[in-house]
Structure 1
Amino acid sequence: MCIALLSTAHPRYALIAIDNRDEYILRPTSRPHWWTHKPSGTRILSPRDLHRRERGTWMGVSSTGRLAILTNYRESSQDDPDHAICGVRSRGALPTAWLTAPPEEKLDHFVKRMVTDPATKAAGGFSLICGDLKEKKENGIEPLAILTNRCDELTEVPRLGGERGMTCGLSNTIYVEPPTWPKIKRGEQLLEVAIQEATEKDLAEEELMDRLFAVLDDDTMPLRPNMSMQDHMDALRHSVFVPPFGDTEGWKDMTDAAEQGKAKAAFDAIEDESDVDTQLPADPHVNFMKGAYGTQRQTLVLVDWEGNVTYKERALWDAHGNKLEKGHGDLVIKYKIDEALQ
Structure 2
Amino acid sequence: MCIVLMTTAHPDYALVAIDNRDEYILRPTSRPHWWTARPEVESRVPNGGTTNGTNGKGSTNGNGSTNGLGKGSPAGEVEILSSRDLQRAARGTWLGITKDGNFAILTNYREAITDVAAHPVCGVRSRGSMVTAWLRADPAETTEHFVHRMLAGNGVKGVGGFSLICGKLRKAQEEKNIDPLSIISNRCDHAGQVPWICGQRGSVYGLSNAIYVDQNGGFDEEESSLWPKVQKGKTLLSQTVADAVASSCSETEFIASLFKVLDTDDFPLDHSTDVEQAVRSLRNSIFIPPLGGKERQQEMEKARQHGRDNHNHPPSAETTEAVARPDEVNGFESGLYGTQRQTVILVDWDGNVTFIERALWDSHGNAIPKGEGDEIFKFKVEGWEARVE
Deviations along 1:91-117, whole A, 9 cap, x unmatched?
A: 001111111111221111100111113
CA separation of 1:277/1:233 partners in 2, compared to 1, >3 Å: closer, same or farther?
closer
Task: Judging by fraction of residues, say which structure has more strand.
Answer: 1
The Cα shift of 1:225 comes to 8.7
Unaligned runs of 5+ in 1: none
1:234 alignment partner in structure 2: 280
Please tell me whether the aligned partners of residues 266 and 318 of structure 1 are also in contact (alpha carbons under 8 angstroms): no
CA distance in 1, matches of 2:355, 2:317: 19
2:9 alignment partner in structure 1: 9
CA separation of 1:100/1:329 partners in 2, compared to 1, >3 Å: closer, same or farther?
same
Q: Do structure 1's residue 120 and structure 2's residue 164 form an aligned pair?
A: no
2:178 alignment partner in structure 1: 141
Deviations along 1:105-161, whole A, 9 cap, x unmatched?
A: 111110011111324121100000001112524231011000000111212100010
Q: Do structure 1's residue 294 and structure 2's residue 338 form an aligned pair?
A: yes
CA distance in 2, matches of 1:57, 1:112: 22
CA distance in 2, matches of 1:139, 1:202: 20
**Greater CA radius of gyration, 1 or 2?**
2
Range with greater deviation from structure 2 (46-55 or 223-232): 223-232
CA distance in 2, matches of 1:278, 1:54: 15
The Cα shift of 1:275 comes to 6.1
The Cα shift of 1:280 comes to 6.0
Please tell me whether the aligned partners of residues 237 and 261 of structure 2 are also in contact (alpha carbons under 8 angstroms): yes
Local SS of the residue matching 1:131: strand
User: How much identity, in percent, do the aligned residues show?
Assistant: 49
Unaligned runs of 5+ in 2: 41-76, 216-224
Please tell me whether the aligned partners of residues 301 and 309 of structure 1 are also in contact (alpha carbons under 8 angstroms): yes
The Cα shift of 1:279 comes to 5.9
Range with greater deviation from structure 2 (125-134 or 331-340): 331-340
Please tell me whether the aligned partners of residues 52 and 280 of structure 1 are also in contact (alpha carbons under 8 angstroms): no
CA distance in 2, matches of 1:228, 1:269: 31
Please tell me whether the aligned partners of residues 37 and 275 of structure 1 are also in contact (alpha carbons under 8 angstroms): no
Q: Do structure 1's residue 26 and structure 2's residue 15 form an aligned pair?
A: no
CA distance in 1, matches of 2:330, 2:271: 31
Range with greater deviation from structure 2 (221-230 or 209-218): 221-230
Which of 188, 195, 208 matches 2:234? 188
The Cα shift of 1:234 comes to 1.8
Q: Which runs of 4+ in 1 moved over 4 A?
A: 224-228, 274-280
Local SS of the residue matching 2:123: coil
2:195 alignment partner in structure 1: 158
CA separation of 1:245/1:254 partners in 2, compared to 1, >3 Å: closer, same or farther?
same
Please tell me whether the aligned partners of residues 116 and 152 of structure 1 are also in contact (alpha carbons under 8 angstroms): no
Deviations along 1:57-81, whole A, 9 cap, x unmatched?
A: 0010000111100000111443222
Q: Do structure 1's residue 202 and structure 2's residue 248 form an aligned pair?
A: yes
Deviations along 1:199-220, whole A, 9 cap, x unmatched?
A: 1111111100000000000111
Range with greater deviation from structure 2 (1-10 or 133-142): 133-142
Please tell me whether the aligned partners of residues 31 and 267 of structure 1 are also in contact (alpha carbons under 8 angstroms): no
Which of 75, 95, 104 matches 1:68? 104
Deviations along 1:263-288, whole A, 9 cap, x unmatched?
A: 345532243xx767886635x52311
CA distance in 2, matches of 1:107, 1:303: 18
CA distance in 1, matches of 2:312, 2:385: 39
Amino acid at match of 1:58: W
**TM-score calculated relative to the size of structure 1:** 0.94
Q: Do structure 1's residue 268 and structure 2's residue 315 form an aligned pair?
A: yes
CA distance in 1, matches of 2:325, 2:304: 21
2:370 alignment partner in structure 1: 326
Local SS of the residue matching 1:288: coil
CA distance in 2, matches of 1:227, 1:242: 12
Count matched residues. Answer: 339
2:90 alignment partner in structure 1: 54
Amino acid at match of 1:256: K
CA separation of 1:280/1:105 partners in 2, compared to 1, >3 Å: closer, same or farther?
farther
Amino acid at match of 2:279: M
CA separation of 1:115/1:279 partners in 2, compared to 1, >3 Å: closer, same or farther?
farther
Please tell me whether the aligned partners of residues 53 and 280 of structure 1 are also in contact (alpha carbons under 8 angstroms): no
Amino acid at match of 1:82: A
Range with greater deviation from structure 2 (170-179 or 235-244): 170-179
**TM-score calculated relative to the size of structure 2:** 0.83
CA distance in 2, matches of 1:277, 1:194: 38
Amino acid at match of 2:187: R
Q: Do structure 1's residue 91 and structure 2's residue 127 form an aligned pair?
A: yes
CA distance in 1, matches of 2:116, 2:382: 43
Please tell me whether the aligned partners of residues 86 and 320 of structure 2 are also in contact (alpha carbons under 8 angstroms): no
Local SS of the residue matching 1:122: coil
